Amino acid sequence: MAFDTQRRLVSPTGASLNLYTRLADGSPRAVVQINHGLAEHAARYGRFADSLASRGFHSYAHDHRGHGFTTAPDAPPARFGTPSGGDKVIADVAAIHDLIRREHPRLPVILFGHSMGGLIAANFLQAHPDAADAAAIWNANFSAGLAGRAALALLAWEKFRLGSDVPSRLLPRLTFQAWANKVPGHATQFDWLSRDADEVRKYIDDPLCGWNASVSLWRDLFGFIFAGADDSRFSSAPRDLPINLVGGAKDPATDGGKAVEHFARRLRRMGFSNLVSTVYADTRHESLNEVNRNIIMEDFGTWLEQVTPR
């Protein structure tokens, strides 16, 4: 269970992007561009890439700025970079997308994002509405509302009080720690990720996972959330774009999947007509590492085949 290759791509932003690829088994039908979540890295998607390869899909997955083995002069670990770190993340995604188009010019490209990666995928679609042939936005929450505005105020206070871009002391309490406390009888602070204790332990034992994000990275994340909550920013996206949304009914990060359902209703109101939305029962945050992951990956593979006919 591993990617075929690991290489580097220098982005126009100056970042040296760590990129994993997995080629399809047999004749390829499309490419899936994977965007990982917060405080993790792209190598964790190797099993997903294997599943995709078995159905004829190439996978490209890179570490975002401040994550994994990607490096950038302005982005040490746990930061996207300043100024305009969020814009640079989207530009890096565009650089990977352009590479895919050069290496596989005849194949459709499906944009995939989990959690933070889902926020990034949506913001990429807003900036490049005609780039992807389909999009999968999983376990993402664009429903921050007043609580999000309050979090931004807290981050502004931290930035002023601490005087430098250091790990936020307040946001982990309001997110990761709060989500852990919503899991009855949780054994670790990361049980909110999955019911599979082995997968949770792998995350905890991984030195590239579970760290506290910087104040600036949190501010950039809320920038993605509020941009994704703005209907007008989707005005140029084609209304027949195939979209796949996934959530978990026991995921505290999306209010038990309610944020995913709200996003689906918004998209439908905007006229997106080719949309599939599924909230899986009893499922926590990391769909691809849950005990029912094989069912979820099978459902996704079936959807991919439907939207990428040979």
The one-letter code for the residue type at 307 is: V
**Which whole number is the average pLDDT over 75-102?**
97
Cα 123 to Cα 117: distance, rounded to the nearest angstrom: 10
Cα 202 to Cα 206: distance, rounded to the nearest angstrom: 6
Q: Residue 300: pLDDT above 90?
A: yes
Question: Nearest 10 degrees: CA dihedral of 197, 256, 33, 15?
Answer: -80
Question: What would the pLDDT profile of 87-96 be if each residue is shown by its tens digit?
Answer: 999 999 999 9
Cα 101 to Cα 217: distance, rounded to the nearest angstrom: 29
- Under the banding of pLDDT at 50, 70 and 90, the label for residue 101 is very high
What residues have CB less than 8 Å from 110, skipping those under 6 apart?
A: 30, 31, 32, 33, 57, 132, 133, 134, 135, 136, 304, 307, 308
**Which whole number is the average pLDDT over 199-220?**
97
Q: Residue 309: pLDDT above 90?
A: no
Question: What would the pLDDT profile of 118-159 be if each residue is shown by its tens digit?
Answer: 999 999 999 999 999 999 999 999 998 888 889 999 999 999
Taken in order of first residue, the domains within the chain and their CATH numbers are 5-307 (3.40.50.1820)
**Mean pLDDT over the full length of the chain:** 96
**Which whole number is the average pLDDT over 250-274?**
98
**Which whole number is the average pLDDT over 15-37?**
98
- Under the banding of pLDDT at 50, 70 and 90, the label for residue 1 is low
Residues in the chain: 310
Q: Residue 310: pLDDT above 80?
A: no
Q: What is the pLDDT of residue 146?
A: 84
| C-alpha distance from residue 267 to each of 135, 253, 262, 275, 285 (Å) | 13, 20, 9, 8, 22
Structural contact between residues 269 and 94, judged by C-beta atoms closer than 8 angstroms = no
Cα 95 to Cα 84: distance, rounded to the nearest angstrom: 17
Percent of the chain's residues with pLDDT above 90: 94
Q: What is the pLDDT of residue 214?
A: 96
pTM: 0.97
Question: What would the pLDDT profile of 157-176 be if each residue is shown by its tens digit?
Answer: 999 988 778 999 999 999 99
Cα 179 to Cα 181: distance, rounded to the nearest angstrom: 5
Cα 81 to Cα 211: distance, rounded to the nearest angstrom: 17
Cα Rg of the chain (Å, integer): 18
Q: What is the pLDDT of residue 130?
A: 96
| C-alpha distance from residue 57 to each of 135, 209, 216 (Å) | 14, 27, 35
